[in-house]
Amino acid sequence: MAGSSQYTVILDANVLYGNLSRDLLLSLAQADLFHARWTHEITHEWTSNLAKNMPAVGEKLSHIVALMQQAVPDCLVENYEHLIGSLTLPDPKDRHVLAAAIVGHADAIVTLNLKDFPQDLLDPYNIEVQHLDDFIVNQLEMRPIQALSAIKIMRARQKNPALTATALIEFIERRGMPQTAQHLRVREQLI
């Protein structure tokens, strides 16, 4: 794909690591609020860390990754490796994310670590960096009906155990997304 007319983001490994943040992001992407993209290297990073930290989940990861790729068409960015060596970031290990954003025609990188992607180093590529919490609130504010519907559908999928809207909001807040939780708290009856 040469590019997308839809707002396109590269999801950093740290926002895909947690089940809740991954589910939120992919639910919003599946509702066509934005085009989510990542790479095999990003997938390897979060799945390796998750398998190491939670061995019981490790067995399910290949199935989770396959479902992610099914849910989000054209999610994988490829052929970005040639750019990595020419890029500058505070941590050289993050250059693959920026390279994927450039090749993947991304408008933004969504991450938990803004310091790893200083905006002045992304400006030449017209790519912005957004914290996960800011990004989700932006989706809720720009297209509230679609975003709230996607979160409601996501919550309804939770069967074991089922989640009340209040419990979901508290879970979101505990997972480091206070703005998202605050936004949803006011609209709790809609999710």
The answer to whether residues 153 and 179 belong to one domain is yes
The answer to whether residues 79 and 172 belong to one domain is no
End-to-end CA distance of the chain: 34
The answer to whether residues 63 and 105 belong to one domain is yes
Strands of the chain, DSSP E: 8-11, 35-37, 108-111, 128-131
The answer to whether residues 29 and 90 belong to one domain is yes
pLDDT tens for 30-86 read 999 999 999 999 999 999 999 999 888 878 899 999 999 998 989 999 999 999 999
CA separation, residue 109 to residues 23, 60, 126, 128 (Å): 17, 26, 11, 6
**What CATH number does residue 27 fall under?**
3.40.50.1010
pLDDT above 60 (res 1):
no
pLDDT tens for 84-138 read 999 999 999 999 999 999 999 999 999 999 999 999 999 999 999 999 999 999 9
- What's this model's pTM, rounded to 2 decimal places? 0.92
| Domain interval for residue 142 | 138-190
SS3 40: helix
The answer to whether residues 127 and 143 belong to one domain is no
Pairing of strands 35-37, 108-111: unpaired
Q: 131: left (phi > 0), else alpha (psi -120 to 50), else beta?
A: beta
| Domain termination site, one of 132, 164, 182 | 132
The answer to whether residues 96 and 68 belong to one domain is yes
Does 57 fall in a domain?
A: yes
The answer to whether residues 144 and 172 belong to one domain is yes
The answer to whether residues 159 and 124 belong to one domain is no
Give CA–CA dist 99/82, Å, rounded.
Answer: 8
Contacts 24+ apart (CB under 8 A), 64-67: none
Pairing of strands 8-11, 108-111: parallel
Instruction: Kindly indicate the confidence band of residue 5, based on its pLDDT and cuts at 50, 70 and 90.
Output: low
